[in-house]
Amino acid sequence: MSYATLLFAIDGPVARITLNRPDKLNSFTAEMHGELADAFTRIESPESGARAVLLTGAGRGFCAGQDLGQRRGGEAPDLGHTIDTTYNPLIRRMRALKMPIVCAVNGVAAGAGANVALACDIVIAARSASFMQAFSRIGLSPDSGGTWTLPRLVGPARARGLAMLAERVSAEQAASWGMIWQVVDDDKLAAESGALAERLAAMPTRALAAIKHALDAAETSTLDQQLDRERDIQRELGRSADYAEGVAAFLDKRAPVFTGR
Ligand code: LHQ
């Protein structure tokens, strides 16, 4: 499949999406949003065989948020419409996707680019990468879920500082604050993030999807509700082929072979 703004391939069980407008630090355009939506439709189709997604950027940046080049002058735009039709569906889709998304942050992740990265399940960044809630610099407030995600990841005090001051935060700082999973040397990012995606793709996919759902749902649930949810999830997973295989492999003292069923 060929796109104008993305590189996309489903490589066995790993779907690889590379934001590919390197001259503009892979900033989002309407075209890129359309292509991302199409790529996720392909990933979600049962025939795709995908069991994990790896998202990264081409060139020296990960993503600089909305392409501001398309925004100068003219009438005041309805940014609510842009968000309703592009960013919000993207974030909702990523969180609802029934498989893990690994984000390999290869360079600066700014504005919506930062929050799309943080909406992934496991974020691994190159040591030279950075994160910036750039919004307040241009008179906006974080979107793409940032006001929901940030306080949960780093706590309210840091979330406020990040959103208001819009300073660049290094990958190491982001990791030490718990914003991301891991930092690796720049020359190791592709191999390490690829290996992580392969590893997740060989795991019990339904269990990983359930973990993703349970942790998100927990954010707005009481302990009581969450205990019930965990029971329901376990009931369902207990009937899965991967659970049967996991237990059998443990008892046989062999490595399990999960199929995602
Ligand atoms: C860019 C961009 C960019 C176009 C770098 N657009 N060209 C949602 C709904 C609707 C509307 C509004 O927004 C949103 C959500 C948002 O995402 S709002 C936040 C938008 N993003 C920003 O405000 C970040 C803008 N970019 C920057 O502050 C810097 O470029 C960062 C800090 C990301 C990187 O700085 P440098 O490493 O110094 O790179 P640079 O600034 O030199 O950029 C390299 C090139 O990329 C340059 O083009 P040029 O032709 O001069 O080489 C930039 O103009 C271009 N570029 N970001 N968002």
Average pLDDT along the chain: 97
Paired tokens of 216? 């998100």
Concatenated DSSP letters for 148-173? HHHHHHH-HHHHHHHHHH--EEEHHH
Number of the ligand 1 atom closest to the C-alpha atom of 69: 4
Is residue 10 over pLDDT 90?
yes
Q: In 3-state terms, what secondary structure has residue 1?
A: coil
| Confidence tier at 166 by pLDDT (50, 70, 90) | very high
Q: What is the pLDDT of residues 206-240, one digit of tens each?
A: 999 999 999 999 999 999 999 999 999 999 999 99
Is residue 245 over pLDDT 70?
yes
Residue 168 alpha carbon to ligand 1 centre in Å = 13
pLDDT of residue 74: 74
pLDDT of residue 71: 67
In the predicted model, what is the mean pLDDT of residues 29-56? 97
Q: What is the pLDDT of residues 106-118, one digit of tens each?
A: 999 999 999 999 9
Give CA–CA dist 133/144, Å, rounded: 11
Helix (H) or strand (E) holding 211: helix 205-218
Q: Indicate the top mutation candidate among 68, 84, 130, 144 to test ligand 1's pocket, ranked by most ligand atoms within 8 A of CB.
A: 68
Is residue 80 over pLDDT 80?
yes
What contacts 97, CB < 8 A, 6 or more positions away?
A: 40, 43, 44, 53, 209, 212
Instruction: Please tell me the residue having the least CA distance from ligand 1 atom 29.
Output: 64
| Confidence tier at 75 by pLDDT (50, 70, 90) | confident
69 lines ligand 1 (CB under 6 A): yes
